[in-house]
Amino acid sequence: MRSSSDNASSRPTGAARVARKSGLGMGLAHAGQNAGVETVRLPRQAAALLHHPLRLRILSALGEPDSATGVARRMQLPRQTVNYHVRQLARAHLLARAGRRMRRRMVEQCYVATARGYVLSPELLGNLAADPARVQDALSVAYLQGLASRMQSELAEVSDRAARAGKRLATLSISTALRFISPEQRAAFTAALQSAILSVVQQHSAPFTISADPSGAASVNSGESAAAGRPYRLVLGCYPLPPNRSEQSEKSALSEKSGESTKKEKDGAS
């Protein structure tokens, strides 16, 4: 992970090159750089977005600047109807003003969506949001969903804070598709992965907390305090892919292999 003082480099690292060849997707995202995704955290924003199915279509249509009249013409809908929904989306700060233009001697106000994609924050559900702390079975689907919910909420919060402070936010993401041919293979994979992660954490990170006991032994009576350094959360999950997603992943993998083969042939010819 890069700190806020790092300079961005267009040249991939050795680890990134290896990950790309093995099908792993790794990336570093920074607040302040438009990643094209916005988290909807306010109830009024969520209500404005989901109030009418047409608003999702309008927001999608305004991925590029256009006026309500232009959207109405493209969607073959009454201008007054589209104009009403555009105003509501703009009031909820889901649309931003994008200049004006002259058309048939009339001045049209143009708008553009504030992001390329949107995520509804679990915070909108309040106490009903999935929480891993309320799930006893750490190997259950409910626990994994709780982890994903907590990660989404925390990531939205730190992203907003970093953006307001004008700072870059260092994150890491790894994603790949794989197969297991037996429960035994899956169990061996899990054990090896857990061991590898524990080893990396011990070698390349600082303690999350410090024991208040002078002997260094943590106890209930002594309590623990935060250690030096910025805290991070590492989340790892694995789950079966739905059939349609499995087919998409296979096509993507075949496309990547085809691209690598073509590149090797070109490099060999040169």
Q: Where are the domains of the chain?
A: 39-118, 122-163
Asked if residues 27 and 191 have their Cβ atoms less than 8 Å apart, the reply is: no
Q: What is the pTM of this model?
A: 0.66
What does the pLDDT read at residue 268?
Answer: 53
Tokens of 206: 């600082």
What does the pLDDT read at residue 224?
Answer: 65
| Low-confidence winner among 21-25, 58-62, 208-212, 237-241 (lowest mean pLDDT) | 21-25
Q: What mean pLDDT, rounded, does the chain reach? A: 79
CA 255 to chain CA centroid, Å, is: 24
Q: What are the φ/ψ torsions at residue 4 (nearest 5 degrees)?
A: -65, -15
Residue 91, pLDDT > 60, answer: yes
Minimal CA–CA distance to 222: which of 232, 209, 206?
A: 209
Q: What is the percent of the chain where pLDDT is above 70?
A: 71
CATH of domain 39-118: 1.10.10.10
Asked if residues 225 and 212 have their Cβ atoms less than 8 Å apart, the reply is: yes
pLDDT, average across residues 67-75: 93
pLDDT tens digits for 220-261?
Answer: 444 566 777 888 999 999 999 988 766 666 566 555 555 555
Residue 176, pLDDT > 50, answer: yes
| Low-confidence winner among 15-24, 46-55, 158-167, 171-180 (lowest mean pLDDT) | 15-24
What does the pLDDT read at residue 244?
Answer: 78
DSSP letter at 234 equals: -
Asked if residues 170 and 3 have their Cβ atoms less than 8 Å apart, the reply is: yes
DSSP string, 31-91: TTS--SEEEE-SHHHHHHHHS-HHHHHHHHHTTS-EEHHHHHHHHT--HHHHHHHHHHHHH
Asked if residues 101 and 67 have their Cβ atoms less than 8 Å apart, the reply is: yes
DSSP letter at 210 equals: E
What does the pLDDT read at residue 37?
Answer: 86
pLDDT, average across residues 174-192: 94
| Low-confidence winner among 109-118, 143-152, 208-217 (lowest mean pLDDT) | 208-217
What does the pLDDT read at residue 1?
Answer: 42
Residue 186, pLDDT > 90, answer: yes
**Who wins on pLDDT, 115 or 20?**
115
Instruction: Provide CB contacts within 8 A for 40, sequence distance 6+.
Output: 46, 49, 94, 118, 119, 120, 121, 124
pLDDT tens digits for 100-136?
Answer: 887 777 788 899 999 999 999 999 999 899 999 999 9
